[in-house]
Structure 1
Amino acid sequence: MILVHVALLSGQTAAFRAALESTVADLRDRAREEFQVGIGSLSIGGRLLESKQNLEEVGLADGDTVHATVQQACLVSSHTARAFALIRSDGRVLTWGHPDTGGNSSRVQDQLHGVKEVQTTGRAFAAVLASGGVVCWGHEEFGGNSSKVQPLLRDVRRLCASDGAFAAILGDGRVAVWGDEYFGGQCSEAVRELSDVIDIQATERAFAALCRSGRVVTWGRSDLGGCSDSVQNQLQSVQEVISSSGAFAALLADGRVVSWGHPYFGGDSSSVSSECSELTLQSVQSVEASCGAFAAILHDGSVVTWGARYYGGDSSKVHADLHNVREVRASGRAFAAIRHDGRVVTWGDKFSGGDCGAVRHDLQDVLQIQSSQKAFAAILGSGRVLTWGEASSGGDSSSVQEELQNVRQIKGSQRAFAAICENGRVVCWGDPECGGDGRMLQEQLQDVHFQRCG
């Protein structure tokens, strides 16, 4: 037995007697119970400790001090989801919204502890535990049942979701998938043999896996991004993959972008990629996607868009205002760009937030923007929240404005929003069928710590 001290950044410490053959995961569980908060990771001397290794293997000695990071609360939902999940700071999960699509997690609630990550297909949710296992709930056909691959779901590092299936990255770089086969829930032997996957992104019905070597491997519905054969020779030194509902865009190390998938949803970027085009995809810094279009921020702060016009693929009317842009966010059919001066520029479908005219005068000192399918919500430097877009999708927050004080995090579902305030309270608005009413859980939605998630 050795004595191990665990220290938080806040200065709190605790001491534990532990056997050398016990694991880092065991030590983390004991720290979580002692501090009553979720523990994200443990490290010593700046070196992260692997959960599955025992204390002797990581070189811990009697009297050593291990530093722990606190896992703070995080809201989870998506543009296709009709429910929310809240990962509490103690690693437990609360859910609300439509009960058949993940809003009711009572069946697995006793398993939802030590949760590190949650993702949703829109009809089901999946949680990664500190142990590396996975717990699913919601519509079984669309990802709510992982029993067929459960033996593989060990040491899971990350999850990604299409609209009906999940893909998990395992600790050894391999991939496991489950859910509806028409949404990418089945993959080829070549995908199962991958061993260096570091990230996965998904369209509505296809997945793209980014490998450590910089190459990309795809599967799922071919016309929605599941087949990348036409651009495979260009997919070299890929840094990041971004997805719309039916297409992918890959950001290369040299700042160029390669896209594939359905042309209508942004799978054809030739109009902004050729040397003769007025705006070209060169020196790209980041890319954001709506359901059917992409917007790229260039290194000079300008923005280039492509894809379906009615999904924000045409930004020509606001081109003169798109300068010094630091971030772009998208609803289902519109974009909102935050400039370095804190101002916001919007374009796309006006019924999906593409017209912020009603609040434009007040949209100053904007820190961040989140979206539902048809509305936007902006957090200002003052901690206030401004919303616009379709009223029934969260674009009208007047009923909860008095509660939206010192807001630190917002997340949108299909037609609703949830916000975490500095006082630890969660405030919801929008369509009750999509999580816009959290009153039944109000006592539990208190004293919440926050972090920005996605």
Structure 2
Amino acid sequence: MSICVEVSLLSGRRHSESEKGSDSLTLQIRRVQLRRAAKAFAAILGDGSVATWGDTMRGGDCSAVLHRLQNVQQIHAADHSFAAILGDGSVVTWGLPEAGGDCSAVQDQLKNVQHIQANAAAFAAILGDGSVVTWGDAARGGDSSAVQHRLKNVQQIQASVSAFAAILGNGSVVTWGVASIGGDSTAVQDQLQNVQHIQACRYAFAATLADGSVLTWGDANQGGDSSAVQDKLKNVQQIQAAPSAFAAILGDGSVVTWGHQFLGGDSSAVQNELKNVRQIQATAGAFAAVLGDGSVVTWGLSSHGGDSSAVQAQLQNVQHVQACSSAAFAAIVGDGSVVTWGDSRYGGDSGAVQHRLKNVLHIQASATAFAAILGDGSVVTWGDARHGGDKTAVQARLRMVQHIAASDGAFAALLEDGSVVTWGNAVLAKVVIAGPSMTS
């Protein structure tokens, strides 16, 4: 079997990689599983092998382990590395070794793995017996030896940028990693009982208890201290995180926020409008809430989408809001059109393609650009051209698109025939096919 991969670079030039045999690459993606690191993608193929592409030093090249990547069930990504769970419960890793791409030190322990959680530079695997194995940057959670004796009957793990928090079967919590951003929960440890769920922002954690209250820890200025609103955090149904703030939806549809004052942690200016909230999305410094009547309320840094006043009249019958991770929002309204706001450089202004944004079914975002799938299976993009906002070079191939995944700087579209088209950052210049697919 041969492979021919064609990827468009920023210059508009097309780059090809070929192996002998057939003249096209068909990635039969199983369960539409595309995973991304900051600068790379990985996909599970129909035969259980893996395809990777992107920055070869940061997860885009799995050739060193390709002979082991067979019967892959799940793939998880840190910023610069990947970890794959195989059908027998073992794990294969690749990417930047010091950031989780090398699990050799714990390979013998990685058996019967059920789930993997990643932060920026480390991984934590839950085994079938409820114990945990960690690897990667030791200071950022890759070394859990100090709490290993407590990591028993683990049900769920969440991660901030450099720490982990595990919920045990009895509802208590164990934390490790960088202490100042969530790796140390001793200040609230006695209260962490009957924990139902943990949400993480970049620098802190928020735990929802069985009684609907919330406990927080981590960087006090960026979400780790909710004391100012503690009396309001009752009957919490859902928590949404920005990098430096949290927003909690209560049972009555109102919202409570905390964290960095200017990056979404202070919603006092719109508090009276936050009623019957059904969805919240966040950029790096702002939140957008969709209300039950289809209108939208925003707060936070204006330049990051916290001010939607310029398009407020258009924000009616909103079905869904998508945020790019930097500074803009895009809303699909009831007639299938799209309304955007925020930083115009990063997707906050879709004026150049507005006439084409009709019958939009889904929107995906990179850090600074958006891609919309239309009802006819075509794609419309806008925002930073360098990071996926310009798909001109692959336009003819974007037909019958079923799903789009995004990294920080690029997009990957899964087509109806199982093939994948990529565009964006120029590092997307090589695809590696692992496992049985390499066999002729």
Task: Give the letter aligned to residue 396 of structure 1.
Answer: D
Which residue does 1:199 correspond to in 2?
197
Corresponding residue for residue 312 of structure 1: 305
Larger deviation, residues 423-432 vs 385-394: 423-432
Match of 1:303 in 2: 296
Whether the 8 Å contact between 2:188 and 2:217 is mirrored in structure 1 is no
Give the drift of 1:330: 1.0
TM-score, normalised to structure 1, is 0.71
Q: Which residue of 2 aligns with 1:8?
A: none
Q: Is the 8 A contact 1:77 1:412 kept in 2?
A: no
Partner of 2:123: 125
- 8 Å contact kept, 1:84–1:413: no
Matched letter for residue 305 of structure 1: T
Please name the residue that 2:390 is paired with.
Answer: 396
State the identity %.
Answer: 49
SS at the partner of 2:147?
helix
Residue identity opposite 2:288 in structure 1: A
Aligned 8 A contact 1:167 1:175 in 2 = yes
2:258 paired with 1:260: yes
Note the alpha carbon deviations across 1:167-192, whole angstroms, 9 max, x for none: 12222222121211122111115336
Does the residue aligned with 1:373 lie in a helix, a strand or coil?
A: coil
Cα separation, 1, equivalents of 2:225 and 2:367: 27
CA–CA separation in structure 2 for the residues paired with 1:386 and 1:112: 42
CA contact under 8 A between 2:201 and 2:242: conserved in structure 1? Answer: yes
1:170 counterpart letter in structure 2:
L
**Is 2:337 the partner of 1:339?**
no
Cα distance 1:416–1:183, how it changes in 2: closer, same or farther (>3 A)? farther
Counterpart residue type for residue 315 of structure 2: L
Please list, as runs of the form range in 1=range in 2, the aligned pairs for 1:340-355 lying within 5 A after superposition.
340-355=334-349
Q: Kindly state the Cα deviation for residue 246 of structure 1 after the two structures are TM-superposed.
A: 1.2
Report the 3-state secondary structure (helix = DSSP H, G, I; strand = E; otherwise coil) of the residue aligned with 2:311.
helix
CA distance in 2, matches of 1:444, 1:400: 27
Other structure's SS at 2:404 match: strand
* Matched letter for residue 335 of structure 1: F
Tell me the equivalent position of 2:211: 213
Q: Which whole-Å deviations, capped at 9, do the CAs of 1:44-85 have from their partners, x for residues lacking one?
A: xxxxxxxxxxxxxxxxxxxxxxxxxxx99666558xx34566
Tell me the secondary structure at the aligned position of residue 273 of structure 1. Answer: helix
1:246 equivalenced with 2:244 (yes/no): yes
Q: 1:393 to 1:155 in 2, by over 3 A?
A: farther
Distance in 1, matches of 2:153 and 2:431, equals 36
Distance in 2 separating the partners of 1:295 and 1:187: 30
| Bigger Cα displacement from structure 2, 104-113 vs 415-424 | 104-113
Structure 2 CA distance for aligned equivalents of residues 143 and 379 of structure 1: 37
Quote the Cα distance in structure 2 between the aligned partners of 1:377 and 1:85: 27
* Coordinate RMSD, CA, aligned: 3.4
Displacement of 1:285: 1.2
Alignment TM-score, normalising by the size of structure 2: 0.73
Specify which of 387, 396, 410 is matched with residue 416 of structure 1. 410
Q: Distance in 1 between matches of 2:284 and 2:344?
A: 15
Q: What's the counterpart of residue 150 of structure 1?
A: 148
In structure 2, the CA distance between the partners of 1:116 and 1:318, relative to structure 1 (3 Å rule), is farther
Task: Specify whether residues 284 and 430 from structure 1 end up closer, same or farther in structure 2 by C-alpha distance, changes over 3 A only.
Answer: same
| Alpha-carbon shift at residue 375 of structure 1 (Å) | 1.9
- Tell me which of 183, 188, 191 is aligned to 1:190: 188
- What's the CA shift for 1:101? 3.7
Q: 3-state SS of the aligned residue for 1:254?
A: coil
- Following the alignment from structure 2 to structure 1, what is the Cα–Cα distance between the partners of residues 242 and 110? 30
SS in 2 for 1:354: coil
Deviation at 1:382, TM superposition (A): 3.6
Is 2:323 the counterpart of 1:330?
yes
Equivalences for 1:90-109 in 2 at 5 Å? 100-102=98-100
- Which residue number corresponds to residue 452 of structure 1? none
Residue 439, structure 1, aligned to residue 431, structure 2: yes
Q: How many residues align?
A: 369
Q: Following TM superposition, by how much is the alpha carbon of 1:154 offset from its aligned partner in structure 2, in angstroms? A: 3.4
Q: In the aligned structure 1, how far is the partner of 2:393 from the partner of 2:129?
A: 41
Unmatched runs of 5 consecutive residues or more in structure 1:
1-35, 38-70, 275-279, 448-454
Native 8 Å contact 2:72 2:84 kept in 1: no
Cα distance in 2 between the residues matched to 1:439 and 1:370: 22
Which residue of the other structure, out of 362, 365, 373, is the alignment partner of 2:359?
Answer: 365
What secondary structure sits across from 2:352 in the alignment?
coil
* Partner-residue secondary structure (3-state), 1:231: helix
- Specify the alignment match of 2:228 in structure 1: 230
SS at match of 2:216: strand
1:240 deviates by 0.8
Farther off after superposition, 152-161 or 255-264 = 152-161
- Residues 409, 103 of structure 1: alpha-carbon distance in 2 compared, 3 angstrom cutoff: farther
Residue 84 to residue 72, structure 1, CA distance change in 2 (3 Å) = closer
Residue in 2 aligned with 1:42?
Answer: none
